[in-house]
Chains A and B, each alone.
Chain A
Amino acid sequence: MLRLANVRKSYVEPNGNVLPVIDIESFHVAPGEQMVLVGRSGSGKSTLLHVIGGITRPDSGDVIVDGQSVAKLSEPQRDRLRAQKIGYVFQTFNLLPAFSALENVLLGMAFTGQKVDPARAKELLDRVGLAKRLSHKPAMLSVGEQQRVAVARALSNRPKLLLADEPTANVDAGNQQHLIDLIRQSCRDENVSLVLVTHANDIAAQFDRVERLEEINRVGAAV
């Protein structure tokens, strides 16, 4: 489902210095596989997810998502790939405040180029336990509920790959496990590959496959 080969990414600092962030020789995720990337703050986890999601183009190397070479696609093509095949769960939820819970989920389908499916959006919200909160704006939901809406949104476009960037970081301890269970079960139900970034060892310990970014990223130690 996901394969990275010799992917390098660096940033140019304001003073002109080149700052390498990612240098991964090989990394892959099988269809339906669920794995955890663990790394300390600033180790390039978010950049890696942006490269995989096509938000950022790597300086070199290749990123293959569902057989498509992300690095070779134009920006609009990468946008379309992201809209159709990748789901995103952000650390800060990133729900749009003007939209209701249902509309936020529908927004996840809005850019796929296909008609939005309100029935699926409602079904997903029902699955995450928010069937009675469809018309609630994010401000009217608890933090845990907001992240559940974000999970429903990430799955709304029937993605092949779900990227979850520290999804429990802003959720209270009581809801963290429930949220992880929700994400994993949803991915199993939809046969979605899961790459979950976290720095919480207790969460990482629940996964069969745990990768330490410092080990696969050759510049990890320097960052």
Chain B
Amino acid sequence: MNLWKIAWRSIQQRPLTSTLTCLSMALGVALVVSVITTYAVVEESFHRNRSLGYHLIVGGKNGSKLELVMSTVFHIGRSEEPVPYEYYKQFLRTTDADGKSVVPDRAKYVELAVPICLGDNYQGFRVVATLPSIFDFEYAPHTAYKFAQGENFADDESGWNQAVVGAEVARRTGLKLGDTFAPTHGTGEDGEVHKENQFKVVGILAPTGTPNDRALFIHMEGFFRIAGHETADAVPKSANAKSIKSKNAASPAAKDKKNEAADHQHVHDIPDSRKIVTAILVRYGGPAFEPYVKQYGVDAAKSMADSFAATEYKKINRSQFAQAAQPVAMVSDLLERFVAPTTYVLMGLTVLTVIVAGIGVMVGIYNTMLGRRHEIAVMRALGASRATVMLVILCESILLSLIGGAAGFVLGHGIVAAAAPWIVDYTGVTVGILSFDWRSLIVVPGLVVLASVVGYLPALNAYRTDVVKGLAANA
């Protein structure tokens, strides 16, 4: 017969009051746990997207870097200004008319540069026009994209009307291999449907837990051939067309102009000068770093590539018509500047809710104290000290809080599990009832401290109980 058992019996003696008290605590804790767990999920989502497999995102000068990252990585919002396709070609090793390899300065240390074009959606999911090589990037450290079904779209003309869809898109839209779809213009479902341009699903990605699960990927050349997607004047307002063209060593634009008449003979051909891209994903490394790999090892070479990327980042941002964003830094910055403070505010509010629930525990126990004077007096008459009866009440407060807390813990995870489809939609991270974040364990000592504090007042009441009057209360 220890103090915990005595306290437990007291709780059992008042089932309704105890249940309501536990319930209020459970609701408070459920809120805290769901906020902590959801934050952990969002944080994981952000961290997962930090490992994008590329160093820089290059886009138009107008608009912010944040918009560039959000639209490119998270498929949220839109980038204000594209860059000419010609500019993208500065990141490519090409061949000139004579078949000689041409390596622009900017492309010297580039391992992979992939353009993307945004502007369409399908049933609300972002359509990303790009090249098949986008799936050569690792979406997480040492984790390559996998195809759950089918394969990547072809890199030649046969692939122009092909598409790869993310796992979540396939699940939500029911698109299967062989199905065709027509993108809708804009980011909303109420835009004009490009009915003439049907894309055939040839691959379905395995789930990645990234926003790419919620995207459809089509060939960029197919995108350019959708009415209105190629532009007569590809060079943006802020750009200096001459400077772009002059920086292209092989001057493909000039070549395009030369061949423009011939292009018209083929209805599918669009000169590069008329193309624009929303952003360019650039990874540094590759052949230029091979000597360093041999001399210093892979890790050292990677560090050098990172340093080079940082240097290129500054150079690009000094240019007049393009800007570069470092997604890793941007995502961290985004997390620290926006997500974390918002979560802290939310956490503060939920902690306040728990404190209010704790006050509910105090009021619940305190209201029973008048009726318990006799019970306490009997214990005192049997030899229990004032400190002992005080401890019994504190034990009771702790038990009520922990029981309510445990229920809230389960409830909180239940809420998160119930919200799982929504979380998957917005973060790409799959969560279940067992999703757990160690930070939610702070609730346990937190509740004990809270229960001890809120239990103090009724415990003090028990401490001060007059034994003689208490015994007489039942006489």
Residues of A bordering B, CB below 8 Å: 47, 50, 53, 55-56, 75-76, 79-80, 82-84, 86, 88, 90-92, 94, 96-99, 103, 106-112, 116, 153, 157
Contact = CB atoms under 8 A, between A and B. Distances in A.
Interface string B276-295: 00000000000000000000
A98 B9 contact: yes
Contacts of A80: 383, 385
A97 B381 CA distance: 16
Contacts of B374: 94
Question: Which of A80, A90, A107 counts the most B-chain CB atoms under 10 A from its CB?
Answer: A107
A47 B374 CA distance: 17
Contacts of A153: 382
Given A91-B475, A94-B474, A111 B383 contact: yes
Given A55-B467, A94-B471, A110-B6, A76 B381 contact: no
Contacts of B383: 79-80, 82-84, 86, 111-112, 157
B404 to A, nearest CB: 20
B468 interface: yes
A82 B471 CA distance: 16
Question: Which of B381, B383, B388, B468 counts the most A-chain CB atoms under 10 A from its CB?
Answer: B383
A109 B388 CA distance: 14
A118 to B, nearest CB: 9
Given A99-B9, A108-B382, A76 B468 contact: no
A82 B1 contact: no
Contact of B387 (A76, A92, A97): A76
B9 A96 contact: yes
Contacts of B381: 53, 55, 82, 88, 90, 94
A111 B379 contact: yes
B148 interface: no
Given A88-B382, A92-B475, A94-B381, 7 more contacts: A55-B381, A84-B383, A86-B383, A98-B12, A103-B9, A110-B1, A111-B379
A57 B390 CA distance: 21
Contacts of B386: 75-76, 79
Interface string B350-393: 00000000000000000000000011001111111111100000
B384 A116 contact: no
A76 B388 CA distance: 10
B29 to A, nearest CB: 26
A78 to B, nearest CB: 9
A75 B384 CA distance: 11
A96 B1 contact: no
A94 B384 contact: no
A135 to B, nearest CB: 13
A90 B471 contact: yes
A84 B223 CA distance: 91
A55 B382 contact: no
B468 A107 contact: no
B382 A107 contact: yes
Given A96-B9, A97-B13, A56 B382 contact: no
A14 B474 CA distance: 22
B10 interface: yes
Nearest to A113: B383
Contact of A79 (B10, B385, B471): B385
Nearest to B5: A103
A56 B467 CA distance: 9
Contacts of B384: 79, 83, 110-111
Contact of B380 (A55, A116, A157): A55
20 contacts: A50-B467, A55-B468, A79-B380, A79-B383, A79-B385, A79-B388, A82-B383, A96-B9, A96-B378, A98-B12, A103-B5, A103-B9, A106-B1, A107-B379, A107-B382, A109-B1, A110-B2, A110-B382, A111-B383, A116-B1
A103 B468 contact: no
Contacts of A109: 1
Nearest to B11: A98
Nearest to B3: A110
Contact of B382 (A76, A91, A111): A111
Interface string B379-419: 11111111110000000000000000000000000000000
A146 to B, nearest CB: 13
Contacts of B5: 103
A103 B13 contact: no
Contacts of B385: 75-76, 79-80, 111
Contacts of A75: 385-386
Contacts of A94: 374, 378, 381, 471, 474
Contacts of A92: 474-475
A164 to B, nearest CB: 13
A82 B5 CA distance: 22
Nearest to B13: A98
A107 B5 CA distance: 10
The 3 lowest CB-CB distance pairs between A and B, nearest first, are A83-B383, A98-B13, A111-B383
Contacts of B474: 92, 94
B472 to A, nearest CB: 8
A162 B382 CA distance: 12
Nearest to A153: B382
Nearest to B388: A111
A56 B472 CA distance: 14
B14 to A, nearest CB: 9
Given A82-B381, A88-B381, A107 B13 contact: no
Interface string B4-28: 0110011011000000000000000
A212 B471 CA distance: 24
A185 B159 CA distance: 103
Question: Which of A76, A82, A109, A110 counts the most B-chain CB atoms under 10 A from its CB?
Answer: A110
A122 to B, nearest CB: 13
Contacts of A111: 379, 382-385, 388
A99 B385 CA distance: 20
B398 to A, nearest CB: 18
Nearest to B384: A111
A157 B475 CA distance: 24
Contacts of B2: 110
Contacts of A56: 468
Contacts of A53: 381
